[in-house]
Amino acid sequence: MTFKILSLDGGGFRGVITGRILQLVESVVQEKRGQSLHDYFDLIAGTSTGSLLAAGIALKMTTAELLKVYETRGKDIFPARVRNQRKWRFISQILGKRYTLYPHGEPGNPAKPGLSTVIRDSFGDATIASVGKEISRDGRVIEKPILLVLAYDTLSRNTTFFASNNPSGKPRWYDNLPIWRLCTASASAPTFFPPYKLPYYQEGDDVPKDVRELKQVLPHIDGGVSANNPTLAAISHALRTAESEIDNIFALSIGTGQSTQPFTYDEVRKWGLLSWVKNLPNIFLAPSSEISNSISRQILNLNPAKKRHLRLDFQLNNHLVDRTSGQDWRMLRAISETPINSYLGRQVTEDIDDPTVYQEFIDVAEAYIDNAIIDFNPKNEKERHVKDAIARFIELDGLPDISS
């Protein structure tokens, strides 16, 4: 029996790109298997903005509903007044001001919208322990899909795997926390949002008196600092808790578009503290994503005749271009003065906090879907367009095809 993973990267408002690609996956799954994403995938993992999409799918939302959240509520997550203030963040940070961070908001208070407000409005108060619980005819609890949300705990200095399944049956400190709180923690990107505190216990939990008196909270930040691409974490979790064999795991991984802006030695060596703060998110997101992608691909595609890892992502703009010199020893690429997206033929914003570019992200995702060629060729088959690659990936699960 195959075990199917859907993995969704972090990337702020660029989650719109993920959502549009995911919409295509949704339609192909419906066409080929007659199922929703919620029914088809066994484990759905997400980091940061990917955690919002993952949780939404696990809660049986459609991709159209999730994209509508980005389109209509993006301005509440990234309000224009804060975005405008952030243009002067160097001065603000010198003065020690904190208002350059986007607000979490106060759920239940329409006057104070923010990240957590939008997520709670979308998901309600469902807890992660309640996700995917169905009762079979023989009375067994079927946990499908498993939801996995990643965030980084700055107190214990570990990545927290917030998982809906719990084979041990032992109570976990986050079992009764609502999903909106876990997703808020996962999406609290450093330099964009303040850290988010999660209580170590809930009111009414049976905890020792000395623990209760500590009133301990666990501060969390964006899971992207350690696992912006959660595919490898999802594979590990499946092997550890879902009793799945590595040869049966299939993973579909979707990114938010790659920001590949180059930084030269002369630029970086002049950076002071504030310049590092400004550029840190642009730098830290990419490496962990690429490492996870590379290792996951090697593990699942070890057998060329049975590839089980499909990655859908692309460069937002081509910053590096081939040199005209034909000399072999000059293989370094030149930095383009006018970087453009290869599918749209024009430059695309790489910002992760601008809700005014919703349509631009939809356009570039659709251009990628229509024009990209994917290197997914199990059994030495030809390379494919995006929709064909998705269809072939689904066909490899061995389940009946209702479209034929």
Task: Give tens-digit pLDDT for 189-216.
Answer: 998 999 999 988 666 566 566 555 556 7
At the top level of CATH, which class does the domain 3-314+356-397 belong to? alpha beta
Tens digits of per-residue pLDDT, 35-73?
A: 999 999 999 999 999 999 999 999 999 999 999 999 999
pLDDT score, position 330: 45
> Token match 């199990």: residue?
378
Tens digits of per-residue pLDDT, 290-303?
A: 899 999 999 998 87
Tell me which of 280 and 390 has the higher pLDDT.
Answer: 390
Stretch 160-166: mean pLDDT: 95
> Mean pLDDT score of the chain, rounded to an integer?
87
Lowest mean pLDDT among 61-75, 127-141, 160-174: 127-141
